Amino acid sequence: MENLSAKQFKRNFVDTFPGDSSGDLHPRQTPGMLYSKAVPTAVRKPELIAWSAELADSLGIAEPNSDDIQVLGGNLVTPTMYPYAACYAGHQFGNWAGQLGDGRAITLGEWENPNGNTWELQLKGAGPTAYSRRADGRAVLRSSVREYLMSEAMHHLGVPTTRALALVTTGEMVTRDMFYDGRAADEPGAIVMRTAPSFLRFGNFEMLAARNEIDNLTQLVNWTIERFYPHLNGEDKVLHWFGEVVERTATMIVEWQRVGFVHGVMNTDNMSVLGLTIDYGPYSFLDNYDPDFTPNTTDLPGKRYAFGKQANIAYWNLSRLANALIPLISDKDQLESELRKYEDFYWAKYYAMMADKLGMDGIYNEDDVRLLAEFEQVLATIQPDMTIFYQLLIDLPTSLATAEDVVNFFRSSFYGEPDPTEVAQLYTLIKSYQARLRANTCTREDSVLRMKKANPRFILRNYLLHMAIEELQRGENTLFLKLQQALKDPYSRSHDEFFTIRPGWATQQAGCSMLSCSS
């Protein structure tokens, strides 16, 4: 185990690619550069409030001492670190946004773990960079708690994600207009240290293609393949690499759908080429099952990034990445063919996932597909709590003889009383589902086991996060610590104090249902 402040960091990325080493933090365009040096801006009083010991152990990082906390706060940069902000572009809400870059994230360097793998360590909220545009590069406690807890929650749910190692408060206030409505207010500042094998996004490649920097684009693609897809080689390796990005992206989206996660801001600059969930902002889990729900106020009124649209948006984003790779692939038809595989990947993975959620031994025919569609239609109509509904389904008794029996069994998942038509729809669905279960070739015990592994019992709901953040702002951490513990064991009944539908007050409470991109 090594301390952050004593580690010999690697700097493969900055040693490989051209960058602006001036250290100038003024916002500007940086053509020809893949990054700009960005030394964190010191804060008054960094205090550690959360540390992911499990992640630290896997990376070989020792429990932080006083010098390490200075690193986490951006006050100490050791000689082997080379802090930088990456340059990338992106399509935001479907529109080309040009150069973006790390506006409030600063990578300190690459940490080599005991297995010889490297992980980028990055501070989010450590001050301005050349890509901060008109912003201050800071993060508030509210958004930092959300990123810290949710990235770790997603990991324990089994969803591909970046991770969070530490959370510190800065002892300083940060001014934010939470809903972009002219009501700016001061909030406590905080910094998250997040980590991943790489934070490379679709937008890194889009930026180079848009600037016609083909040599840099070629070098970045080859470097990415060599480091993260080393099994690929030969003349068609770029094509095959894109195909693997397509499949990893489909996998990630299906996992989002499994647990009811809504990212909220699926811009191409927020899409990882490693298939990781990246950049936790105005996200949410579904409470009531609403495919049209978006947690992002900035996404209104079109709801481009709503829960039910995420699979299609991922395909659109992949098409933007494909466009960026056209200069490197001679056969455009093959590139398009790899892109079109997304649909096959997605549906194969989706059907397998839904079979697990429902305890079915597979999706074999059109009748099974129709049953899945019926589930989707009925849930979208009645809108029960997604998590609680599927948990109840695990324990569905065979003795439910009437529509009233069915409604009473699922009542604890309802946000409103279903009308007679909805009751009839639910009853018909459950009877069809029970008939399908009887046709399983696996045992009931095997079916239930698959359901328990596929359906979380604890999810990190927005209203719980809101309450924990309010407590932290008052100097209390009881709920925060409870949530930090619960998220590590989301499939058990160990934390059933949180197994309840969203309270009515949270529907309209700011920060409990929808948030802006400033979150």
CA separation, residue 300 to residues 95, 305, 309, 504 (Å) = 15, 9, 14, 22
**Gap between the Cα atoms of 501 and 120, Å rounded:** 38
**Gap between the Cα atoms of 93 and 265, Å rounded:** 8
Catalytic member of 20, 68, 102, 269: 269
**Cis amide prior to 46 (ω within 30 degrees):** no
**Gap between the Cα atoms of 128 and 102, Å rounded:** 9
Cα of 236 vs its chain's centroid, Å: 30
- Residue 19 in tokens: 């960058």
Q: Count other C-beta atoms under 10 Å from residue 58's C-beta.
A: 15
DSSP helix/strand/coil, 220: helix
Q: In 31-162, where do the E strands start and end?
A: 35-37, 47-51, 84-86, 89-92, 95-99, 105-112, 118-124, 139-140
**Gap between the Cα atoms of 103 and 124, Å rounded:** 9
Q: Which residue has the tokens 């009748």?
A: 367
What b/e string do you get for 383-395 counting C-beta neighbours within 10 Å, with b at 16 or more? bbbbbbbbbbbbe
CA separation, residue 295 to residues 63, 259, 470, 476 (Å) = 35, 15, 19, 27
**Gap between the Cα atoms of 331 and 347, Å rounded:** 26
- Residue 458 in tokens: 């604890």
Is 385 known to be catalytic?
no
Residues paired with residue 240 on neighbouring β-strands, in sequence order: none
Indicate which residues carry an active-site annotation. Answer: 269
